[in-house]
Structure 1
């Protein structure tokens, strides 16, 4: 079995790619590729999130393996796409107190590889400019009704730094990983056809539709509208407010993106991002893909 795992990360067009592939999953299966994404992995009988939270050796693993084998039976190749393998965007989990991005990602990935039948696995990971990523991940938590102000979510972290280099090093060095393919989120549109060619059986990339962007983030006017109402009513349902803000102030209607950081932060972020990418390009077992 050839195993490929698209790890996301969060807020790097993962949902768009997953939705695209879901439209042709029957054709992929006919071509010998079993495709599994959050629509399957986060629901019974699999329930991967609960198993990863419990850790390796938990009672739920036996049931997962049985259901997994039944699902992918007859397919020589497997593609998993699930950004939560890395971890979530909760303020207490995304970056550790020591500044480690997705601190439990290697353990969780090792467990997934074992559950899927073992490696070697080829990993796929998209990374994003730190300032832009932090804003988008914060907006995701706002949309979930869990955050209101970015300073609270950052917990004193520098928004211009993130730690992609450390994450890539840990993942690429993991036993059971053959290779880690990395690209910039900012290049996703230009690389999409090439990435699909890598992920899918020969000739299948052209059958994958290209739907409109998924999970559109809060705009700046939308966030300001949300924050004003959240501060005025401590009993307000933050999730409902965020949904209303997204509908009222859409990018499609000309509203600008979220801008909660100053220009100096964005400039430092771009410099840090470029340095990390240069270092990532030199790592063993890592392939950096660019247009």
Structure 2
């Protein structure tokens, strides 16, 4: 499927209003873009609005934005429960749960709804192959990975991931959007599970979990050791809590499925914690407590 190249994107859609989706929507709105966020129902939409508002309020409190800039960004964001509202978007970023089937369903829906054949359909996946999502559409040449990092309003990097079908014009449009419009840095990655950053990061996190699981050191000592001994801004277990242990597990499983290397195998402790709902910051407890 072909269409007229999009030289300047002004209308963006985000499917999913969780931490990543809300953060991506905020980044787009602060860049002056007309932004539509789709969530499943009214409750999820309220939560998405609250996430975006809290984040913008923090930016104002820290002197990173003015009150007028916050209000203008909020005014640019429309929240909806109807995927059909993505019809006129020039670029849509999927940011739903890290489940290949759910993501493929979203892309199949967008393929039918988004009217402009030149529109870019992007995924924020951490681990699902971009090719698999592109093949859920009739326009795989317009599908690309745009992997933002958490928290999206703060982190300056976006991984751009092309599948074997992604067109050169799609890549150019996506990179121009990320760099010129959003002011982020880009690194390119092949379409392999974990891409660049998580393929390096996740084995490190899993190693720290195995160390805690074995009783070799406490979670606090592991994190303090890496913070003060290696000048890391955050220890590996605190970082896993920030990412979400369910997300860490999903990425680890995707990496192991792709490469079958032991360093990507999820430790039993990680699986038990996810089963117990101890998912990290978002649940109030992971390797560390976060109540209050």
TM-score range, shorter chain: under 0.3
Given the two structures, how large is their TM-score scaled by the length of structure 2?
0.27
Higher RCO, Cα 8 Å, sep 6+: 1
